[in-house]
Amino acid sequence: MTTTTEHTYTYADLPGLMRLMTGDEKHGPAATSTLDALWVLYDRVLRVTPERADDPERDRFLLSKGHGPMAYYAILAAKGFVPVDWLEGFGAYDSPLGHHPDRVLVPGAEIGSGSLGHGLPLAVGTALGLKARGLTDPGVWVLVGDAELDEGSNHEAIAYAGPAGLERLHVLVIDNASASYARPGGIAARFEAAGWSAVTVDGRDHDALHAAYTAPHPGRPHVVVARVEPKDHTGEPKSA
């Protein structure tokens, strides 16, 4: 829960905040698939606030799945990183809230999201950079979509990070069954084969997400695979 000078925001407020953002390029399913996982991460796990946005000891969150950022923007607004009134201008020419987040325009954004497949390698580099600076406490988190794991850059990052023992690196995979080349045995098995700690959970269960995020994984990077409703060929979630 977050209190600003105008309102106290909870998870229940997020759909209303998301409805403030309109336009033809909303990528609604891409956003709603991440809503619960992002909220639990920002509300209960990440050690970062608007006041600590430049603190070297802050946790870092990198949004690699950047083409549906409305849930991300809604949560940044709920947590006080950006003004709520920015949301209504989403995607407009003069709005800082573009269809992909821009780190120089969006307070709290650690990277600019563009082509899929870049976030996990950037997170590996961030973890290595922090370690080189002697900053061993900050956690590095990156959210990717399951289809992003089709990209070779991610496979290289996974293969490197496990043997490197990047314990402060965490990957959150939103699995909505949209990958073209799904790996037999599931996403978690791919990470485990490279020496990662891995947990697969219901991506709508807040307590399960929190338990997965905070599970101990000494000496190893950690991946949480959050399963949500699958998408059909139109890109819309399938009905239950």
What does the longest C-alpha to C-alpha distance in the chain come to?
50
Answer for the pair 191, 214: CB distance below 8 angstroms, yes or no. no
Integer CA distances (angstroms), 132 to 120, 126, 141, in order: 18, 10, 18
Mean pLDDT over each residue of the chain, to the nearest integer? 90
Integer CA distances (angstroms), 106 to 82, 150, 227, in order: 7, 28, 28
Residue 205, number of CB atoms within 10 A of its CB: 15
> Coil, strand, or helix at residue 148?
helix
Rounded average pLDDT over 213-217: 98
Alpha carbons 1 and 98: distance in angstroms, whole number:
26
Integer CA distances (angstroms), 18 to 23, 35, 38, 71, in order: 12, 10, 14, 7
Q: Which pTM was predicted?
A: 0.91
Each residue's pLDDT tens digit, 60-110: 999 998 887 999 999 999 999 999 999 999 989 999 999 899 999 999 999
Each residue's pLDDT tens digit, 133-153: 999 999 999 999 998 998 889
Residue 75, number of CB atoms within 10 A of its CB: 25
pLDDT of amino acid 138: 98
Return the CA Rg of the chain: 17
pLDDT of amino acid 48: 97
Alpha carbons 214 and 42: distance in angstroms, whole number:
13
What confidence tier does 239 reach under pLDDT thresholds 50, 70, 90? very low
Among candidates 154, 179, 143, which has minimal Cα distance to 67?
143
**Sign of the dihedral defined by the CA atoms of residues 23, 93, 89, 15, in that order:** positive
Answer for the pair 146, 226: CB distance below 8 angstroms, yes or no. no
Alpha carbons 138 and 158: distance in angstroms, whole number:
20
